[in-house]
């Protein structure tokens, strides 16, 4: 059989295109902001992970321009060899200080961060216990690690303990969880995870991609939110969300960072993030530290949006983050509603299997600190006008 035969087979993608409800690769023609021009029309952007709105912050933009002038457009090599800038080291130092860890290191992308960390830390003879709703990068990292991996039922601490009992005496154990689960905005049960890790001698990695800048003291993330900064062994996160750039990071004890620097193949054999990305992430981090009130503003606007949706008869899943899931359940209904809302002038993310269970599809709405209440009202009025069939949206 021709290797490419699979590319010609009928698929959901073909069906969606035929029915004019294909929801992906809509092209932006403006900055990533609260209002964008997408495919020639104004849309209110309620589908971005730009939680603090810093992609348009003047200080961040200016720092990015200056970095290009000083360093050029790229590093042309890996961090291991010729691709380390002084600015990379500065960003790592300031990240470590901000997150109250001994050291930090940065990767080229957030996805690569999980690949690079987990595959270096866990190997043959070790065990990884991973929440079933963790990000796809964690699943791929576990495969790359060669450690034995078991997925525990989402946020089910009894199931996690069952696995810990079976693994803890047989090798090193790493518990891996999203801090904020990206589709629902739900928080990991970190207090209980910490208790179990202490009991069984396991280590903890928290993927805080959606927690940094959103939760905790000054936006320090999920562990800070629970007062458990010192209890998480490894923080992982990205620059592509609250820090308005591209790249990822790891923060941990200095000895752990040094080990990963010298053993992580995804880190060693990838080019470093370019000067512009490094400078924008550093400027965004500094802006967050200088303006911690932006985190409170984001929370207030997110709560305002939740209340507005509920007042208009749209049931949502409650959470303590800017992520607001509107459940639409089956695939076709989700895509139809996403298309109608998009055509009305609001961009939301339709979320389908395998990112959700087959009967738990949703429209993922997310807020930014740069919104105002009037714009949120305009957007949710548009959403409500298209959610006529209230039976398709119910609370979980």
Which of the following is catalytic: 48, 182, 272, 280?
A: 182
Residue 218's region, left for phi above 0, alpha for psi from -120 to 50, else beta, is left
Burial 326-349 (b: 16+ CB within 10 A, else e): bbbbebeebbbbbbbbbeeebbbb
Farthest-apart Cα atoms in the chain, separation = 60
Q: Is residue 225 within 8 Å of 211, Cβ to Cβ?
A: yes
Residue 178's region, left for phi above 0, alpha for psi from -120 to 50, else beta, is beta
Angle (CA) 367 369 371, round 5°:
70
Residue in the structure block whose two tokens are 């985190």: 295
Which of the following is catalytic: 241, 264, 272, 370?
A: 241
Which residues of 208-322 form beta strands (DSSP E)?
234-238, 248-252
In this structure, the strands spanning 35-38 and 41-45 are antiparallel
| Cα-trace Rg, the chain | 21
Which of the following is catalytic: 88, 101, 135, 210?
A: 210
Q: Is 210 a catalytic residue?
A: yes
Q: Is 182 a catalytic residue?
A: yes
Residue in the structure block whose two tokens are 């029309």: 41
Q: Which of these, 326, 278, 324, lies nearest to 298 by C-alpha position?
A: 324
Which residues of 290-330 form beta strands (DSSP E)?
323-329
User: Which amino acids are annotated catalytic?
Assistant: 182, 210, 241
């Amino acid at each position: 059989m021709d290797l490419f035969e699979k590319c010609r087979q009928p698929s959901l993608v073909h069906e969606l295109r035929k029915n004019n409800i294909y929801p992906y690769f809509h092209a932006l023609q403006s900055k990533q902001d609260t209002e964008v021009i997408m495919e020639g029309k104004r849309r209110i952007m309620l589908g971005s992970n730009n939680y603090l709105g810093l992609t348009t912050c003047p200080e961040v933009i200016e720092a990015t321009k200056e970095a290009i002038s000083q360093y050029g457009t790229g590093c042309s090599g890996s961090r291991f060899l010729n691709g380390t800038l002084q600015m990379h080291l500065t960003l790592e130092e300031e990240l470590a200080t901000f997150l109250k860890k001994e050291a930090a290191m940065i990767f080229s992308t957030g996805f690569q961060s999980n690949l690079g960390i987990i595959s270096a830390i866990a190997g043959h003879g070790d065990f990884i216990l991973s929440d079933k709703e963790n990000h796809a990068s964690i699943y791929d990292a576990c495969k790359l690690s060669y450690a034995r991996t078991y997925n525990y039922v989402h946020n089910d601490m009894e199931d996690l303990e069952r696995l810990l009992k079976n693994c803890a005496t047989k090798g090193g154990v790493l518990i891996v969880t999203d801090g904020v689960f990206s589709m629902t905005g739900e928080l990991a049960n970190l207090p209980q995870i910490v208790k179990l890790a202490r009991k069984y001698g396991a280590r903890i990695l928290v993927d805080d991609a959606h927690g940094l800048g959103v939760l905790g003291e000054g936006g320090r993330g999920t562990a800070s939110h629970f007062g458990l900064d010192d209890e998480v062994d490894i923080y992982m996160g990205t620059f592509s969300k609250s820090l308005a750039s591209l790249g990822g990071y790891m923060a941990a004890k200095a000895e752990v960072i040094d080990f990963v620097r010298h053993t992580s193949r995804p880190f060693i054999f990838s080019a470093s993030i370019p000067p512009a990305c490094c400078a924008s992430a550093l400027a965004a981090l500094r802006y967050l530290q200088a303006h911690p009130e932006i985190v409170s503003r984001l929370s207030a606007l997110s709560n305002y949006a939740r209340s507005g949706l509920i007042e208009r008869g749209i049931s949502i899943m409650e959470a303590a983050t800017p992520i607001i899931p509107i459940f639409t359940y089956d695939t076709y209904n989700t895509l139809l509603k996403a298309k109608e809302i998009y055509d009305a002038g609001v961009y939301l993310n339709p979320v389908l299997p395998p990112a959700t269970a087959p009967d738990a599809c949703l429209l993922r709405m997310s807020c930014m600190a740069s919104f105002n209440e009037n714009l949120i009202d305009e957007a949710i009025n548009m959403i409500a006008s298209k959610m006529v069939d209230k039976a398709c949206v119910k609370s979980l």
